[in-house]
Amino acid sequence: MTTMQFPFGDQAECIEKLLAAYRYRPVVNHRGQWYYETRLAWRGRLVLCRLGTADLSRLPADLYGEVWCGYYDASEPEAMLDDAVHANIFAFVKNVHMAETA
């Protein structure tokens, strides 16, 4: 199996447009952490879902790079409930958003 990658051009722009379809918006918090955030139902509760690079130093800019996502209580945005690392943005969408529709 090869690791061929489709040349998407500006990958950061592709990521932003892809995530906008799921109502994510870019955020930088008071600690200088960068991530995309949306509200969604997760395990029967309303949460804030945050997606970024592992160190949150910048927004994801590589469609094929590893991404981190964290689930936070919507009423207590500093309280993380769970988190996960995904192989890339496509794995994240498949595992988080495609699972919603299955």
| Structural domain contains residue 1 | no
Taking residues 42-60, report their average pLDDT: 96
Is 4 within the bounds of a domain? no
Mean per-residue pLDDT over the chain, rounded: 91
Q: Quote the number of domains for the chain.
A: 1
**59 domain-assigned:** yes
Predicted pLDDT at 9 = 65
Domain with 96, as residue range(s), is 11-101
Angstrom distance (rounded) from CA 56 to CA 67: 10
Does a structural domain hold residue 5?
no
15, 25, 65 from 9: Cα distances, Å = 11, 21, 15
The pTM (predicted TM-score) of the whole model is 0.87
Tell whether 3 is covered by a domain: no
